[in-house]
Structure 1
Amino acid sequence: MPYISAPTVVSSIASQSDADAFRTLNEEWISRLFTLEEQDRAVLGDPFGRIVGPGGDVLLAHEPDSGTVVGCVALLAYPDAVFELAKMAVTPDAQGRGIGRQLIAAAIDRACALGGARLFLGTNSKLAPAIHLYENAGFARITRDRLPVADYFARADILMELK
């Protein structure tokens, strides 16, 4: 099947309903595939305080007609202009439409606009389609000792950084 551009609009988180959609999308896939950790609950429960306030952002993909949120990704800010691409999700009904690609591209652009010098992520080998998207966007695997943060999620068995 040929790649079809996603008919979505990507924007920064702006309301409590955006925050609720971000939480719901992520809780669904994390709970289905893994265990929702305390770190997850803290970030998902307060994206304005835990992500936006410290200098990051949450990007949401909306259907243009209905405004329904069909995907999301977070940029978590760390010292020294380091950002983490995290909490990416696309609703099952919207998967396969290029929304993940669109979110990653928007997140890379946003990290640059926020002054980012380094962008990394952690994922899991169970998430083969996501890994493929990250590699196509220019991310390469790194070892845990190259992580710019300590105490990173145990479920992340693959770590990547944008080349």
Structure 2
Amino acid sequence: MPTSLSILDYQPAHQPAFRALNHEWISCYFTLEPIDNEMLDDPQGYILNPGGHIFMASYDGDLVGTCALINEHGGLYELAKMAVSPRAQGLGIGWALGTAVLDKARELGASRVELLSNSRLTPALRLYEKLGFRHVPVPPTPYQRTDVKMVLDL
């Protein structure tokens, strides 16, 4: 991990950065969907209040990345809303965020972490595979862009 990289617990003041980081990557590859806007506008209600967690990555004092852990039910969590600004990619920030989310999932007693993604996001899929996730069939999902599902049993 670079010495100027810090992984921070989400604070309400981070919401604009959380939204902007996710908006940046989603808009680059896809179209923002209603569920995106709902979650990005109210991370407290959609992610934190139901028992989830959000991490923010600070690099040289700037918030350049984020990743959420959403509590689904019965020990199942979803890794979601991972974003690293293009200006900070290639610095190990995605790995640091993914590791922090999986450590938090273990701390919370999760039995499985799953994620939904898209086959166009090759670097992200490689990162998830490196973190230990494996591909499984894709169920119906609220996201039109989803064509990949991956799971990691803890």
Please report the TM-score for the alignment, with normalisation by the length of structure 2: 0.93
| Equivalent in the alignment of 2:149 | 159
| Equivalent in the alignment of 1:15 | 12
Shift of 1:38: 0.5
Shift of 1:151: 3.4
Say whether 1:95 aligns with 2:89.
yes
Structure 1: state its 5+ residue gaps.
none
Q: Secondary structure at the match of 1:9?
A: strand
Structure 2: state its 5+ residue gaps.
none
| Equivalent in the alignment of 1:54 | 50
Shift of 1:8: 0.9
Matched residues, number: 152
| 1:13-58 deviation line (CA, Å, top 9, x unaligned) | 1122x11100000011101210100000000001111100000011
Matched residue type, 1:13: Y
Runs of 4+ residues over 4 Å off in structure 1: none
Distance 1:54 1:47 in 2: 10
| Equivalent in the alignment of 1:79 | 73
Q: Percent identity?
A: 42
Which residues in structure 2 correspond to 1:1-163 (within 5 Å)?
5-6=1-2, 7-16=4-13, 18-63=14-59, 65-66=60-61, 68-145=62-139, 151-163=141-153
C-alpha RMSD over aligned residues: 1.3
Matched residue type, 1:143: P
Please report the TM-score for the alignment, with normalisation by the length of structure 1: 0.88
Matched residue type, 2:144: A
Q: Secondary structure at the match of 2:74?
A: coil
Shift of 1:154: 2.2
Shift of 1:97: 0.5
Shift of 1:113: 1.3
Distance 2:11 2:24 in 1: 21
